[in-house]
Amino acid sequence: MKSKSPVKLSANMREDSNFSQSDLDFDQNHIWHPYTSLTNPLPTYPVVSASEVRLKLENGQELIDGMSSWWTAIHGYNVPELNQAAKDQLEKMSHVMFGGITHQPAISLAKKLVEITPKGLNNVFFSDSGSVSVEVAMKMAVQYQHSLGHSGKTKFMTFKNGYHGDTTSPMSVCDPEKGMHHLFTDFLPKHHFFEAPKNGFDEEPDEAELSQLAIFFEQNAKESAAFILEPIVQGAGGMRMYAPKYLSAVKGLCEKHNLLLIADEIATGFGRTGKLFACEHANVSPDIMCVGKALTGGYLSLAATLCSDRVSKTICEGEAGVFMHGPTFMANPLSCAIANKNIELLLSSNWQEKIEQIESQLKQELEPAQQFPSVKEVRVLGAIGVIETAEEVNVPAAQKFFVDAEVWIRPFRNLIYIMPPYVIQPEDLSKVTKAMVDYCHSIANGS
Ligand SMILES: Cc1ncc(COP(=O)(O)O)c(C=O)c1O
């Protein structure tokens, strides 16, 4: 069945447009957008360009971006330095296979990642997306245990409410009930889930909960390869922030039970939580760490899985003698060149100060939403602001409300959340937070 409600362009939109109505009809009827239906698609907004923190729509309207294109565009859009890095690299080579070949962009980037990530993560595996970097991390953990002669250790331990991506292995460690993947339950391998940390970032962990966590390890560590978690902030599984002591507790228990700790920093990495990597809040070095999203400043898809010498040596001294993975676009030079410039830009900026300012502005400006009965909780950490509503948000209606207010926010389930580019100016951020609070007010009034 085809969609009955294609986006309609007004006459003046069509005149200076590079989309035709038939393009938009085709989009609605034949192109999947993330987590949507092709028979009853949600509206999509045609974007023609983006610059600094603004997305420009087909009709000329400009929206202040609250999403950083899903955690990626930390410096905003159309960044001259990143454009130049891309042009320079394009003239040398866009891509070359990584099997039997190496290149400077990959070497420089790997050196940088080793330098800036927590101590001990000395080895880098490049891949093309966050989900694949998690696949790689999980395979590393299993191969590590296999190399030690523990071939039965193939399960993973993790927190409920987690999100690690949409490919098969990451899906298997996403929240099994409330996550987006529960309908695949019978298809996926079964792993061990512990209740998500109850207490927020500024609170002490609950002692009874930590005792239960220790029992959970006693029960399940024997058959498990690793504990995988999103450090400090659980993203798409609920946008929840938890106390650093939970992370230290998991690290301590992993050491006690000879289990690897995998930190998925795909969303939290590169400053988003106020530290360069969220693991730093607890001063924890994981055995394996995944980074992606903001790695290229939102320009191209690239991810990396880093691991300790212990992990790499054990794998390479094991039965296979090699690590069994090698994507076609591994260490794509164009992506690596942009990532190098992106990290240089970040480290040479006053990013910590900027995130602190964003954090205090978010706290101050989102707090008023707490008064509405439609709001369950307001949470802020670093450059992340979340309003959890009491009921599920009507996404098309909310999105229209936000576009009318000239901001770009994409809610999901009962979460209206933002993670703006770090370069956002206070006046622009105020427009975004005002739209969030106004929306909560409007649903509290039943409109
Ligand atoms: C914590 C976390 N891990 C993994 C992923 C998957 O990354 P990608 O969408 O690049 O495959 C995401 C994406 O939202 C994420 O937030």
What ranges do the domains of the chain cover? 1-41, 45-78+350-444, 80-347
171 neighbors 217 (Cβ within 8 angstroms): no
Would residue 98 be called left, alpha or beta, if left means φ above 0 and alpha means ψ between -120 and 50 degrees? Answer: alpha
Q: Ligand 1: which of 163, 242, 417 to mutate, most ligand atoms within 8 Å of CB?
A: 163
Q: Do domains 45-78+350-444 and 80-347 have the same CATH topology?
A: no
- State how far the alpha carbon of 394 is from the alpha carbons of 172, 186, 188, 217, 307, in Å: 28, 30, 30, 40, 41
Q: Is the CB of 236 under 6 A from ligand 1?
A: yes
Distance 105 CA to ligand 1 centre (A): 23
Q: Is the CB of 296 under 6 A from ligand 1?
A: no
153 neighbors 170 (Cβ within 8 angstroms): no
Among candidate residues 83, 78, 81, 76, the one with its CA nearest the CA of residue 424: 76
Two tokens at 117? 């990530």
| Alpha carbon distance 22, 28 (integer Å) | 10
Triad 346, 351, 353: Cα angle to 5° = 165
Write down the catalytic residue from 153, 251, 293, 341.
293
**Ligand 1 atom 8: residue of nearest CA:** 130
**Ligand 1 atom 16: residue of nearest CA:** 267
**Ligand 1 atom 4: residue of nearest CA:** 164
Tell me, what DSSP letter sits at residue 242? -
Write down the catalytic residue from 16, 35, 256, 400.
35
Distance 116 CA to ligand 1 centre (A): 20
| Alpha carbon distance 210, 18 (integer Å) | 57
- Ligand 1 nearest-atom number relative to CA 70: 14
Residues of the chain with pLDDT under 50: 1-7, 9-16
Based on C-alpha coordinates, what's the Rg of the chain? Answer: 22
H-helix or E-strand spanning residue 62: strand 62-65
Torsion of CA 18, 21, 23, 26, to 10 degrees: 160
CATH topology of domain 80-347: Aspartate Aminotransferase; domain 2 (3.40.640)
Would residue 76 be called left, alpha or beta, if left means φ above 0 and alpha means ψ between -120 and 50 degrees? Answer: left
Told to judge if 287 belongs to the known catalytic residues of this protein, a careful annotator would answer: no
Sign of CA dihedral 266, 270, 274, 276: positive
Q: Is the CB of 268 under 6 A from ligand 1?
A: no
| Alpha carbon distance 342, 298 (integer Å) | 9
213 neighbors 260 (Cβ within 8 angstroms): no
CATH topology of domain 45-78+350-444: Aspartate Aminotransferase, domain 1 (3.90.1150)
Number of C-beta neighbours around residue 391 at 10 A? 10
**Ligand 1 atom 13: residue of nearest CA:** 165
Exposure string of 271-291, with b = 16+ CB inside 10 Å and e = fewer, is bbbbbbbbbbbbebbbbbbbb
Told to judge if 35 belongs to the known catalytic residues of this protein, a careful annotator would answer: yes
φ, ψ for residue 229, nearest 5 deg: -150, 160
Two tokens at 447? 């409109």
| Alpha carbon distance 192, 220 (integer Å) | 7
Write down the catalytic residue from 77, 128, 144, 163.
163
Among candidate residues 388, 362, 393, the one with its CA nearest the CA of residue 375: 388
pLDDT at 1: 35
Q: Is the CB of 135 under 6 A from ligand 1?
A: no
Told to judge if 422 belongs to the known catalytic residues of this protein, a careful annotator would answer: no
Q: Is the CB of 129 under 6 A from ligand 1?
A: yes
SS3 362: helix
Two tokens at 196? 């998500």
226 neighbors 260 (Cβ within 8 angstroms): yes
Told to judge if 264 belongs to the known catalytic residues of this protein, a careful annotator would answer: yes
